[in-house]
């Protein structure tokens, strides 16, 4: 287990102590900020094309939480045709769809009609190198 030690700002000296020493600084911890539910959160790398409209690019890292249920316009990982792919989840007139971010009708997969398609997890953050 990793233990993060508190980081003290000042040495103890003889003079007037810095008023800031009461505020013990923790190292900044990106995990704690980006991962709400540790056992259900996975890091997954994007391979291949980019999905520019959604802001997902080749080689990005996705933080995916399996415990969440998708909301309208959630970016999700889904099992489509025996493959894990990135999609956008859309709700319309009580029906759910997956799209690749385009507005073309043929791009829409109706989840109510394709019960074999399952949502694998919901993408919560995209880590993109610039």
* Cα 120 from Cα 16, distance rounded (Å): 57
Q: Provide the mask over 75-104, with x wherever binding to another protein is found by CB under 8 A and - wherever it is not.
A: --x-xx-xxxxx-------------x----
Q: What distance lies between CA 24 and its chain's CA centroid?
A: 30
Sign of CA dihedral 54, 61, 38, 32: negative
The size of the interface with another protein (CB under 8 A), counted in residues, is 29
Whether 87 is catalytic is yes
Alpha carbon dihedral 98, 103, 106, 110, in 10-degree steps, equals: 30
Interface residue with another protein, options 8, 36, 45, 53 (CB under 8 A)? 45
The residue (of 44 and 90) whose beta carbon lies closer to another protein is 44
Closest listed residue to residue 69, CA positions, set 37, 28, 27, 21: 37
User: Quick one: which of 4, 14, 28, 38 contacts another protein (CB under 8 A)?
Assistant: 38
Q: Token pair for residue 62?
A: 């996705």
The length of the chain in residues reads 130
User: Residues 46, 63, 111, 122: which binds another protein (CB under 8 A)?
Assistant: 46
Q: Name the active-site residue from 50, 74, 96, 100.
A: 50
Counting contacts by CB under 8 A, is residue 126 touching another protein? no
Residue 81 C-beta: closest distance to another protein, Å? 8
Q: Which residues are catalytic?
A: 50, 87
């Amino acid at each position: 287990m990793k233990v993060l030690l508190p980081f003290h700002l000042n040495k103890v000296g003889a003079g007037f102590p810095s008023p800031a020493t009461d505020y013990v600084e923790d190292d900044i911890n990106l995990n704690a900020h980006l991962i709400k539910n540790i056992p259900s959160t996975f890091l997954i790398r994007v391979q291949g094309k980019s999905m520019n409209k959604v802001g997902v690019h080749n080689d990005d890292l996705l933080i995916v939480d399996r415990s969440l249920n998708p909301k309208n316009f959630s970016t999700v990982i889904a099992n489509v045709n025996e493959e894990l792919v990135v999609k956008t989840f859309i709700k319309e007139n009580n029906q759910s769809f997956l799209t690749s971010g385009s507005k073309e009708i043929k791009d829409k997969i109706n989840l109510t009609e394709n019960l074999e398609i399952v949502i694998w997890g919901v993408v919560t953050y995209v880590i993109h190198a610039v």
